[in-house]
Amino acid sequence: MSPSLAYRTVHGEAWCGDSLDLLARLDDNSVNLVMTSPPFALLRKKEYGNEDQHDYIDWLAQFAALVHRKLTADGSFVLDLGGAYQKGTPTRSLYNFRIPIRFCDDLGFFLAEDFYWYNPAKLPSPIEWVNKRKIRVKDAVNTVWWFSKTEWPKADVTKVLAPYSDRMKKLLADPDAFYKAKDRPSGHDIGMGFGKDNGGAIPSNLLQIPNTDSNGGYLRGCKTVGGKGHPARFPPKLPEFFIKMLTEPGDLVVDIFAGSNTAGQVAESLGRRWQAFELSRDYLAASAFRFLDPGAGDDELRSIHAAIANGETLDLRGQFGLLATAAE
């Protein structure tokens, strides 16, 4: 299947086709960030497609090798991966831990940092070991690997500062009354400048982000056209964190397994250029709802969905105001 453009917006384009072909078309050293969540290596086949655990790493490495070529010298590759169990036993697969070893040893990536996305709203799973036999706790954390092309990727943590705790706010209000400076056993001297308000706290690598969207424009559009949302969407706050930290306005963000194109929506709202690659035109047709004015009527939604699903290329720039935001 030859790649085809599904739609374009002010800042980006959504393409239908094999990501290997689409990646190959990009200029080398041109992409600032690849942020994606590929189909996981699960025991059961999903409707969006997923590889067997045995072949998964080889399959994913094909894409990663191309990503490495396309990244700028200070670019990053952020990969969201869920865990899995071995077939028939309550023991974990190691596939998602073998991936950083393979990528770094064989493909030339560096592991800039490992993150862990905790989704408190995740349903108990796997059913057999958690719900029925009750011998394992629910799996509520995904690993998110931040790879870089060199040891010094572009990054600015001040763009993703976390809100201060109540305790820290009291310290900032009156440092001398609330805290007496002293050396920690680790050797850290936390007296110097500890009471300075930097606008927020440095975040940790544990990202607590619920995946609970149930009434946004995307799902409303899916309901209107009689479809269902992509079953493996990540919440906008996840790509938002990495796009803010690892890119600047005007940089190019690419999602090679776009699904419902959450990353594209966030990149659009943050003024980043973006490209989304997805094999399913049906998923791309529904993803267009993320870029439409919330006031778009049902007939307009059906018309846009049908046109993209039937192979047309739509220009969404300004058609309905592009009022979608990363907060939706």
pTM comes to 0.88
Count of other CB atoms within 10 angstroms of residue 71: 27
pLDDT tens for each residue of 294-313: 888 999 999 999 999 999 99
- Distance separating alpha carbons of residues 310 and 6, to the nearest angstrom: 10
**For 59-86, what is the mean pLDDT?**
95
How would you write 227-239 as a 3-class SS string?
CCCCCCCCCCHHH
**Which two structure tokens, joined as six digits, stand for 322?**
């592009």
229 burial via Cβ count (<10 Å: 0-12, 13-18, 19+): buried
Region of poorest pLDDT, from 87-91, 157-161, 181-185, 314-318: 181-185
**For 8-24, what is the mean pLDDT?**
97
**For 31-54, what is the mean pLDDT?**
70
Candidates 282, 261, 280, 240; CA nearest to 9 is 261
Return the CATH class of domain 11-160+203-212+235-281: alpha beta
pLDDT tens for each residue of 204-247: 999 999 988 766 789 999 999 998 788 788 899 999 999 999 99
Name the one residue in this structure whose structure tokens are 């791309």: 284
- Per-residue pLDDT at 53: 66
- Per-residue pLDDT at 197: 75
Q: How far is CA 136 from each of CA 81, 121, 123, 124, 132, rounded to the nearest angstrom?
A: 20, 17, 13, 10, 10
**For 198-202, what is the mean pLDDT?**
84
The size of the chain, in residues, is: 328
pLDDT tens for each residue of 99-128: 999 999 999 999 999 999 999 988 888 889
Name the amino acid, one letter, at 186: S
Confidence of residue 155 (pLDDT cuts 50, 70, 90): very high
pLDDT of residue 12 exceeding 50: yes
Q: Which residues are catalytic?
A: 37-38, 80
Higher pLDDT, 201 or 216: 201
Q: Residue 157, SS3? A: helix
Enumerate the H helices of 52-189 as residue ranges. Answer: 53-70, 95-106, 166-173, 175-178
**For 123-141, what is the mean pLDDT?**
91
- Distance separating alpha carbons of residues 121 and 273, to the nearest angstrom: 31
Q: Show me where the domains of the chain are located.
A: 11-160+203-212+235-281, 163-201
β-pairing, 141-148 with 252-255? unpaired
Name the one residue in this structure whose structure tokens are 């969201």: 80
- Distance separating alpha carbons of residues 8 and 12, to the nearest angstrom: 6
pLDDT of residue 272 exceeding 70: yes
- Distance separating alpha carbons of residues 159 and 163, to the nearest angstrom: 12
List strand residue ranges (DSSP E) for 103-183, in order.
110-118, 141-148
Q: For all residues of the chain together, what is the average pLDDT? A: 87
Instruction: Name beta bridge partners: 147.
Output: 77, 111
**Which two structure tokens, joined as six digits, stand for 224?**
């209107």
- Distance separating alpha carbons of residues 34 and 79, to the nearest angstrom: 8
CA dihedral (161, 165, 170, 172) in degrees, to 10, reads -10
- Per-residue pLDDT at 224: 93
**For 168-194, what is the mean pLDDT?**
61
- Per-residue pLDDT at 43: 46
- Distance separating alpha carbons of residues 320 and 300, to the nearest angstrom: 10
The reply to whether omega before 203 is within 30° of 0 (cis) is no
pLDDT of residue 268 exceeding 90: yes
259 burial via Cβ count (<10 Å: 0-12, 13-18, 19+): buried
CB-based contact 43:51 (threshold 8 Å): no
- Per-residue pLDDT at 46: 47
User: Angle at CA 22, nearest 5°, toward 326 and 246?
Assistant: 40
**To the nearest whole percent, how much of the chain has pLDDT over 90?**
66
